[in-house]
Structure 1
């Protein structure tokens, strides 16, 4: 078993996946700092519209890879335009709010960005087909993504000098890309599955760039069928998963990851408005998983960070705040229970 130096967060930590409801970046940062003091994250506010969504936000960080909004979604453009300017403006506002309210913060600080395979499955080429259909275009996207990501990490470091960045690469579309389940432009067909070796090579370059920038590389996927082994081999040092979707089929891969010192950000609190359970009940999926993979219960509070099951953009502000509070209380249960 690898030692605790692999986990850059304090014992019994909780954090958010990324998105929150609302449109005020300052209020969002204050909420995160108040509810998640051990492991805050840079909030995302997609309620503001195109450019603040998961794809637009990542597009704002791309270098010399302009995109624009079409009725069908984001599409590669000839030159930067108003849509990309709006996306970059939203990201700048969010970073300004982070600097204002968390500039004096010291400790681990998580940032999130949609990964290249999710971008490739969403952004269209100029002919209207998904970028994923052209692996040469995917290569160009990955190069742009890595260059922009390095600059983004440097900007966060400058704004929060005491922060130790954890970079979460969001890949909700990765399982579909691997299975050949991404729809074609017509919607009547599916794009060919991408070979796992190709996916792994591109992700390895992304995670290596994060590490080279002095940040901690992470991956997040809240879809079923997460390729845990692939992400581990690619260089992710922590994996964000929806614990309520995990099946026994994933136990061996998750056990291997934990054995290798990989941290787990496990979603246990509903992301949409729902009746919330007591903290001790909320962490049941974590306890059940830990029992199945056979590790010391005391390690759970070190290796596991509790989170919502997915982003909170679709929740009410009241539920979002309560969900983050419950994540924090659930993490404490993991710390206290083994000692009883």
Structure 2
């Protein structure tokens, strides 16, 4: 089968077309003929070596859509020919075929394969960080960093659907502000000015880290929650004293979909199904801004790593 992978860490240029055997599904797994593969920052980190060196040829790709073409032993509730969106905790999505845990293969009821290709990771994370980690309740105010990205644009809509009273966003440069505003933000600020303009925010979502994360603590309301779900800035980890959290009634929480896949798969599945239900109903939409063929995956990585991408990028494998 055709795939795109890398055998050494480095820049986007290390991604190359490869021919690999079609994988076989093991117990509790399904084999998917991939229609679309989503491109995510976690795959950039994978290529750069943040998760360690490759083991032979690594094929990135954490979410796909497509048709189930084989069932592993013990799989129930799914059938050959089902169209699904799938989260791939072990990667492998940049390929014509991918293996997914059956628990993380979600039926595309009322959702197109194109939308499904960018949904399983992005929408699950956006919903999970709001409802699970940050415990959003109706009336909360929300601030979302990286407001123009795939998760940010979805999180703004999901926050509204869950009853947020106000939703603010930040972007790295003013050029992305107009794009982000289309997703229901009350206001979009540049990342270097939000701390001067905002106070008493109930929830802050942060995938950036570093100075942005530190400044976010200072804008929290009493019992406010800073929910961390990424490290896109690739800053050194913060060393935070605990006493200021106590003295200022602040909380720090996190959402890591890979950890949930290992330790709480039922929770991950519930977040995914809730988010996909919102997508199917039309309450939220996935803004796919870029669609490239599989062999141009390096271009998608370059845009994501440089911070020039907006919305969601897909690789069309078998559209």
The TM-score normalised by the length of structure 2 is 0.28
| Structure having the larger proportion of residues in strand | 2
